[in-house]
Structure 1
Amino acid sequence: MSRSRRKTPICGITTAASERFDKQTWHRSFRKAERQRLASDPFSEPHHFREFCNDWLMHKDGKYYWGPGHSGAKWLRK
């Protein structure tokens, strides 16, 4: 495995291993709001999921492309 490389050179910006907790939290709040909306007025417009999540407030803060010409060779190793 010493020669294996990522097929797509995209990595998270910070050192967070996962966004699992963030995703669980905003999915839970989204489902709760939808249940409440359906109980009160089933024919109203559904909520948009962007009302409950913000990619920049999650632990990873997005992703970065390590294409040709970048010195991020250690991040491209598996």
Structure 2
Amino acid sequence: MSRSKKKSKIRSMTTASSEKQDKREANRKLRRVVKQKINNSEEAVLPELREVSDIWNFNKDGKTYDSAMGAKEMRK
């Protein structure tokens, strides 16, 4: 692995180490909405997870192209 390099000059712009808390909040929100719809009507159309939460707003989202990235940053 001494010769492995990144293929593109894309780096992350986030400080979050995990999306675990975001996923917990999204699933709790989904369960709450489903319970409300079930209690209010008998034949409710239940939402999907993607309809309730937006994965693009999670903490680990964020990458950018860095044209000034040098050889040292390109090494894995």
Q: Could you say whether these structures have the same fold, taking a TM-score greater than 0.5 normalized by the shorter chain as the test?
A: yes
Larger Rg: 2
Q: TM-score, normalised by structure 1?
A: 0.55
Q: Which runs of 5+ in 1 are unaligned?
A: none
1:10-46 Cα distance to aligned partner (Å, 9 max, x none)? 5432122222211111112112221332233242222
Question: RMSD value over aligned CA atoms?
Answer: 3.1
Hey, what's the Cα distance between the residues in 2 that align with 1:28 and 1:20?
12
Identity of aligned residues (%): 26
Point out where structure 2 has 5 or more consecutive residues left out of the alignment.
Answer: none
TM-score, scaled relative to structure 2: 0.56
Shift of the alpha carbon at 1:59? 1.7
Q: Tell me whether 1-10 or 21-30 shows the greater mean CA deviation.
A: 1-10
Aligned length, in residue pairs: 73
Q: Paired residue for 2:27?
A: 27
Map 1:5-16 → 2, pairs under 5 A: 5-6=5-6, 11-16=11-16
